[in-house]
Structure 1
Amino acid sequence: MTSNIHNLTRSTDDVVIVGGGLAGLFCALKLAPRPVTLIAAAPLGLGASSAWAQGGIAAAVAEGDSPEAHSADTIAVGGGIVDEAVALGIAREAVPRIHDLLAYGVPFDHDLEGKLAVGREAAHSARRIVHVRGDGAGAAIIAALSEVVRRTPSIRLIEGFVAEALLTEDGAVTGVQLREAGNFSARPTMIASRAVVFATGGIGHLYAVTTNPTEAAGSGLAIAARAGAVIADPEFVQFHPTAIMVGRDPAPLATEALRGEGAILINAGGDRFMTARHPLAELAPRDIVARGVFAEIAAGRGAFLDAREALGARFAEKFPTVHASCIAAGIDPATQTIPIAPAAHYHMGGVAVDARGRSSVDGLWAGGEVSSTGAHGANRLASNSLLEAVVYAARIADDIAGRAIPSPARLPDVLVTPRSGAPDAVTMKRLRAMMSSQVGVVRDGDGLAEAVRSFAALEGAATSIALRNMATTALLVATAAWTRRESRGAHFRIDRPTDAPSLAQRTMTTLSAAREVAESLADHLLPRTAQPMIA
């Protein structure tokens, strides 16, 4: 049963998990029967990017495939900075985690022989993507786990609350400050615990065009950074090449599996443009395909996904989710091409964690998209995100189960952020527009410097905690992108279009370091065309 505000504020020996997506739910179940308090911003099944995942989970379950081959593919697309031990470890744990999900009731697709059915996606050397009804893996997984969570007596579920600050003492976590989601006039409340797991999701909604839900606006990353956590690789943002452009926010996604089944990319003239850009054409790594699509749109030729020949009348049966999105927009993908554009989709960066999911802040673990494990490097391999989420959720549960958690400290007398207003819609729109234009698919030094200055000013001036969190995460992404003076993976700078071998290493930064970068750029005047973030 979902708890309410009246029994929320208290000290607890529970492990507190913030986030109702795949990592949060899986970790809570793996901790059972240990008491867990699970905080979700929206009712379970809503507001989590993992529920929207269409591709599936990558796992070497087919004959002739292996974790070593899976790991090699992950490393190959990661821009030279993948932690190879992490990638191999995740690949080796894929099969037992798939079996866990099956035990929780996830209805993965099977072939006629009763074996798990597998598909292929970009940059995979084998068919190893485990699906549910073609393109419904995320929704099916979250639905199954949500049902189990709701009937697990050791899990206290609190829906409709968001974290807005970590409580710390002597560098260690002592609890979380929460506020009712969407109720900006509500008084915050606190829950004390010395074991907090952040599974708060990604940052896609910082961008004007994204496939992520509105809840994925980088709040968890900002909160952890403000508590002193080390942040890894924030400059690496993956843009999905094929968001369906029909005027919706978030934009519906046309899964990469469509291209795995033979769909092609064309411009308005009918020309197939990816064949000239990469030997794998439409199945090239996502960053290359995203830039190819971006270039066609920038040149005025437009970009379209064409599945007419590859799928035709089979489209609705094979990919019902994408089909429904198209039909709702007045497009019949069996007979028409689908207008597309790159959209912010996944953040390779996040709270830096070790092999057990521990952050640099004592008592804070992080899993799922809010974390950065080193598995993805500069460019995530398709369908590795859900796998990483369940692998690290299980590892975090094991780590917490194996250690003694001190009793909670006394709750502080003073709220960390006593007041907050609703985020200004105009300012938020400007922030998202600047992230897309200056910190998007294609970047350059001048645009990044302009973004850094703007986000730093907004972070200091915002009265809304939600807007301040957005500005904090935007600042971390922009400063890391400005500092990395090369192109690598999903980070592409037109003023420095090649990679620099001396920079083939991960970024490790902090909020204080990002603010120092902003201060170093403060003496440079904003271009006359730049608009202030706050009117």
Structure 2
Amino acid sequence: MNFSPPRYLVPFHPKRIPHHFVDVMIIGGGIAGLRAAMEIDPRLSLLVVTKDQMQESNSSYAQGGIAGVLDTADKFENHVADTLTAGANLCDQEVVEMVVREAPHHIRQLIEWGTKFDTEEGGELMLGREGGHSHHRIVHALGDATGAEIMRAMIRRVHDEIKAQVWPNTFTIDLLTTEGECRGALVWNAHHGKTFVWAKQTILCTGGAGQVYRETTNPPVATGDGHAMCYRAGAVLSDMEFMQFHPTVLYIAGSSRSLITEAMRGEGAQLVDANGYRFMPDYDERTELAPRDVVSRSIVEQMRKTDHPCVYLQLSHLDSDWVRQRFPGIARTCHEFGIDIARDPIPVRPGAHYMLGGVRVDHDGRTSVPRLLAAGEATASGLHGANRLASNSLLEGLVYGAHAGRAANAAALEEPDSFRAIPLENAEVSQSTEPIDLTDVGNSLKSLMWRDAGVWRNEDVLADAALMIDRWIRYALTRQFTHPAGWELQNMLTVSRLMVESARIRTESRGVHLRHDYPETNDESWHRHILLSEGADVAYAPA
């Protein structure tokens, strides 16, 4: 890479900043972070730091469910095969096998912890089917609010039973490293300012980076902070070119870009264009149940053909009462804009949804930086490959959260309590006095990424994007801000530059990475992962 972001984003002197010591620090309070917390021995001190409230995460907003082989008509081999197919020949098969086989245990564990999944009249779990799945194996909760219900149960357990120490509304500025090892993190809270948190083991579960795009399903907190701070700390990142675009995001002027769950198509919803024509059979024999990358690019192509800014989901051929009962959250959201989902077409288009790339981890969540582990959407575990199979993300958070928690727990138990603060210092540097409009740069970055590194890419537009981001980097990354808005912008610029660089390097189309100038998949040259780390040349790893 041709840029090196500053190691620490803020000036500090250890004597002027309070210190806090814990055995295990978890950064992020989504499903991966909370699941990791549940593995920490009560004899150890544990701190969970969350950027916002724990309810404010991609996990909480997940409408889709959790995939798991729970039906006797299904087999682990089927779920593995579906995951590998969706991943466009770039998954790690050992990882896929591990996650798929652990899925039923984690789902049953959630039930034991109080999660109320939807059931049939006889009390059996209701199993749905979504795009890319060959069998009904998706468990949902409250129709289309699975993530919120799971997080409710897990938050209650963390507070009431584990009694973990949680610092909400606390921004993690940077990881603290010395001699190549992670020793904790520098955090900031509006009431207390900066604090050094020194930890024997740090688990990073900071979620995704969808906010680098203008059109996204992600909440405002998803600014790629974990990806960026891991890069600055020297960790290896992988697969940064792979951002999954959800095909069906509510497209109404003035509304938030609400996700329209894939389960809706799994239950029979049809995609039609501005002329009312059902177009998916023209693109794929699986029609609306094709994997997300196929549906996304089909929608974009149909929008181009019809010169229309969106397409429409249609459910009017289904029982209207059942539709409203099955998707209550979406029904409420659409009703606010005068749309009855049982009768009216729902305007949709693709939006940035799930970051497949991130910090590279092993089976236990260990990164390339000693004492630093990671789990969830901030990672590249090998499960998803070049395209995530629907409802495998919450599952990954559970499995890798548990693995990372166990690994950190074992390491912290073995280490004596003799660790101490490291004498780090980051002096204030002279910088431009010219004011910077953070909102304007942020909005410009989002528009640029949507236009030049969105569903379709090519070398010319990616090269232009790289030049523009480099200009912003030159005067934004050298500044030392005093508030999260500035740090978030620096993180978004860092992550966007890494994404664009990887997208330029991968001269093929695979999974969610689509290039007009290289439309074919090239296994001979590109059956491998692109690895990026600060200060090092681009490297590759076999798939």
Alignment-derived partner of residue 460 in structure 2: 446
TM-aligned CA deviation for residue 456 of structure 1: 2.6
2:205 to 199, 208, 219: 199
1:310 to 305, 318, 333: 318
For the residue of structure 1 that corresponds to 2:19, the secondary structure is: coil
Output aligned runs, 1:207-356, within 5 Å.
Answer: 207-248=213-254, 250-299=256-305, 300-301=307-308, 302-356=310-364
Contact 1:174 1:409 (8 Å CA) reproduced:
no
* Aligned-partner Cα distance in 1 for 2:18–2:338: 49
TM-aligned CA deviation for residue 417 of structure 1: 8.0
Alignment-derived partner of residue 396 in structure 2: 388
TM-aligned CA deviation for residue 114 of structure 1: 2.2
For the residue of structure 2 that corresponds to 1:197, the secondary structure is: strand
TM-aligned CA deviation for residue 189 of structure 1: 2.2
* Aligned-partner Cα distance in 1 for 2:147–2:528: 32
TM-aligned CA deviation for residue 411 of structure 1: 4.4
Q: Aligned pair in 2 of structure 1 residues 234, 393: CA closer, same or farther (>3 Å)? A: same
Q: Aligned pair in 2 of structure 1 residues 475, 242: CA closer, same or farther (>3 Å)? A: same
Alignment-derived partner of residue 530 in structure 2: 507
Higher RCO (Cα < 8 Å, 6 or more apart): 2
* Aligned-partner Cα distance in 1 for 2:436–2:201: 30
Q: Aligned pair in 2 of structure 1 residues 177, 444: CA closer, same or farther (>3 Å)? A: same
Please tell me whether residue 77 in structure 1 is matched to residue 86 in structure 2.
Answer: yes
CA deviations over 1:417-459 (Å, ceiling 9, x no partner)? 8999997101000000011001100111111111122223323
* Aligned-partner Cα distance in 1 for 2:534–2:516: 26
* Aligned-partner Cα distance in 2 for 1:422–1:101: 46
Contact 1:264 1:305 (8 Å CA) reproduced:
yes
For the residue of structure 2 that corresponds to 1:294, the secondary structure is: helix
* Aligned-partner Cα distance in 2 for 1:391–1:284: 26
What number of residue pairs does the alignment pair up?
A: 505
For the residue of structure 1 that corresponds to 2:278, the secondary structure is: coil
Q: Report the AA paired with residue 459 of structure 2.
A: G
Alignment-derived partner of residue 430 in structure 1: 444
* Aligned-partner Cα distance in 1 for 2:397–2:265: 24
TM-aligned CA deviation for residue 408 of structure 1: 3.5
Please tell me whether residue 61 in structure 1 is matched to residue 77 in structure 2.
Answer: no
Q: Aligned pair in 2 of structure 1 residues 134, 417: CA closer, same or farther (>3 Å)? A: farther
Q: Aligned pair in 2 of structure 1 residues 477, 100: CA closer, same or farther (>3 Å)? A: same
Alignment-derived partner of residue 39 in structure 1: 49
RMSD, aligned α-carbons: 2.1
TM-aligned CA deviation for residue 31 of structure 1: 1.7
Output aligned runs, 1:364-513, within 5 Å.
Answer: 364-403=372-411, 404-405=414-415, 407-415=418-426, 424-462=438-476, 463=479, 464-501=486-523, 502-513=525-536
* Aligned-partner Cα distance in 2 for 1:368–1:144: 18
Alignment-derived partner of residue 18 in structure 1: 27
Contact 2:314 2:344 (8 Å CA) reproduced:
yes
Q: Report the AA paired with residue 508 of structure 2.
A: E
* Aligned-partner Cα distance in 2 for 1:216–1:176: 19
Q: Aligned pair in 2 of structure 1 residues 166, 418: CA closer, same or farther (>3 Å)? A: farther
Alignment-derived partner of residue 366 in structure 2: 358
Output aligned runs, 1:129-208, within 5 Å.
Answer: 129-180=138-189, 187-208=193-214
Alignment-derived partner of residue 27 in structure 1: 36
Contact 2:24 2:409 (8 Å CA) reproduced:
no
TM-aligned CA deviation for residue 32 of structure 1: 4.3
* Aligned-partner Cα distance in 2 for 1:358–1:95: 24
* Aligned-partner Cα distance in 1 for 2:164–2:427: 27
Q: Report the AA paired with residue 414 of structure 1.
A: E
TM-aligned CA deviation for residue 116 of structure 1: 1.6
Contact 2:102 2:399 (8 Å CA) reproduced:
yes
TM-aligned CA deviation for residue 125 of structure 1: 0.5
Which ranges of structure 1 fall in alignment gaps of 5 or more residues? 1-7, 517-535
* Aligned-partner Cα distance in 1 for 2:232–2:67: 34
Q: Aligned pair in 2 of structure 1 residues 158, 152: CA closer, same or farther (>3 Å)? A: farther
Contact 2:18 2:195 (8 Å CA) reproduced:
yes
For the residue of structure 2 that corresponds to 1:93, the secondary structure is: helix
* Aligned-partner Cα distance in 1 for 2:256–2:462: 24
Q: Aligned pair in 2 of structure 1 residues 64, 418: CA closer, same or farther (>3 Å)? A: farther
* Aligned-partner Cα distance in 2 for 1:26–1:152: 13
Q: How many percent identity over aligned positions?
A: 36
User: Given the two structures, how large is their TM-score scaled by the length of structure 2?
Assistant: 0.89
Q: Report the AA paired with residue 424 of structure 1.
A: L
* Aligned-partner Cα distance in 2 for 1:87–1:419: 49
* Aligned-partner Cα distance in 2 for 1:408–1:452: 42
For the residue of structure 2 that corresponds to 1:512, the secondary structure is: coil
Alignment-derived partner of residue 482 in structure 2: none
Alignment-derived partner of residue 97 in structure 1: 106
Alignment-derived partner of residue 59 in structure 2: 50
For the residue of structure 1 that corresponds to 2:247, the secondary structure is: strand
TM-aligned CA deviation for residue 296 of structure 1: 2.1
* Aligned-partner Cα distance in 2 for 1:515–1:396: 27
Q: Report the AA paired with residue 483 of structure 1.
A: I
Q: Which moved more, 1:459-468 or 1:134-143?
A: 459-468
Q: Which moved more, 1:345-354 or 1:188-197?
A: 188-197
